[in-house]
Amino acid sequence: MGETSANSMWGGRFSDGPDAIMEAINASIGFDKRLAPQDITGSRAHAAMLADCGIISKADAKAIDAGLVQVMDEITRGAFTFSAALEDIHMNVEARLREIIGTPAGRLHTARSRNDQVALDFRLWVRDQCDAAIAGLDALMRAFVAQAEEGADWVMPGFTHLQTAQPVTWGHHMLAYVEMFARDRARFEDARRRMNECPLGAAALAGTSFPIDRGMTAAALGFDRPTANSLDSVSDRDFALEFLSAAAICATHLSRFAEELVIWSSAQFRFVRMSDRFSTGSSIMPQKRNPDAAELLRAKLGRILGATVALFTVMKGLPLAYSKDMQEDKEQVFDAADTLLLGLAAMEGMVRDLSANRPALEQAASAGFSTATDLADWLVRELGLPFREAHHVTGSLVKLAEDKGCDLPDLSLDDMQKIHGEITQAVYSVLGVHNSVASRTSHGGTAPDNVRAQIARWKEVLG
């Protein structure tokens, strides 16, 4: 086959034919160079352990450590040249180390494989992302608590099916998200605890015959213990799957509030005003303020769901131990982590800058017969009606109010007694929205006193 035919088959991008294609599909340095800090940290711990165990000399270990520090400095300064021909971050670092210190560099890989090396690097990186997510969630929760404190007794409509259901307080609605994000935080904390075992020393898959001290490297790298099974150590990526799963749930919560911001900031609702930092204008309609940040966040968080599905798909059919398929684990997780941390930071900014329109909230809370349930509860509590009968009576009163073009509190006592003769003037005490929310004192209810107690609890928890 001639050169022209070969180029046609392999495509213009791969003018050198199959070798160029193999390099392109095999190399991971384009993305795993991001693991350089973790790779060098792990290598420094490994070299120190090898020397302590008498596997390499103290002099070689000292040279290796100094060389690795120099490599990290070059990478940090942007003075390091990455090579696709060297495939990955591990070989790129080791090749440069050899240029700097010579022969001792070849001793670094003693009692180690790229399999346990990458498992270590990736686990260290994901652990760092858990820490970053926890910090981001703490900041976001504080922003929601601040909103709740400002409007602990402001009334607003509570919705089911996006239809007005019952009045709630602004503070109660804000604290609902604090509860969600607290569970997200707990998931990241739990995942971090579970992933905090060190795979270094598992070597390719079977362990090593060198007298290494895995406990030493585990402790040096901040792990609780070494992993217990060498096969599992190099073939496991469930720590990344668990991070993605927690991130996907958290992303869902972020996206739900982003959706509420889009709805609430519309001219039809006017519940909130988003700051100029997180809004844009229209190119032709000067009256508009578009909630672009919330919309972009709502869309971007889908990337996390996609990454989660992608990595599950990669891992679902792999036999033990390591397979090259697992090289495809990192880009998905990198992108998901970046998206999540950006989303947390952006949402914190939006929530902190958010201005709630208290009059519009209260006006909307009073519409749509939002105190109908309070009326039914009063009929049960004060007149002793079975709830089903009270529900029927209340429905009749709602229809009467609809026919008259008014809300329940606007019906006269005579009107109400035509529906049920035992209704008294006392019924009006439950029909106002402020009375309604104040009465919801059950544990977890929307009453302002409950909200203030929860705010105090969260402020103590968050510090």
User: CA separation (Å) from 421 to 238, 307, 425?
Assistant: 66, 62, 12
φ, ψ for residue 154, nearest 5 deg: -75, 135
Cβ atoms of 372 and 391 within 8 Å: the answer is no
Closest by Cα among 295, 309, 291, 203 to 247: 309
Cβ atoms of 93 and 68 within 8 Å: the answer is yes
Report the distance separating Cα 447 and Cα 439, nearest Å: 6
Active site residues: 161, 282
Residue bearing tokens 């509570």? 158
* H or E element, residue 304: helix 302-315
Closest by Cα among 164, 158, 176, 143 to 451: 176
Closest by Cα among 358, 419, 387 to 153: 358
* H or E element, residue 244: helix 238-264
Across 271-301, b (16+ Cβ under 10 Å) vs e yields bbebeeebbeeeeeeeeebebebbeebbebb
Answer positive or negative: Cα dihedral of 70, 71, 72, 74: positive
Closest by Cα among 455, 457, 372 to 407: 372
Give first-to-last CA distance, the chain, whole Å.
72
Alpha helices in 53-102 (DSSP H): 58-77, 89-101
Closest by Cα among 46, 21, 211 to 119: 46
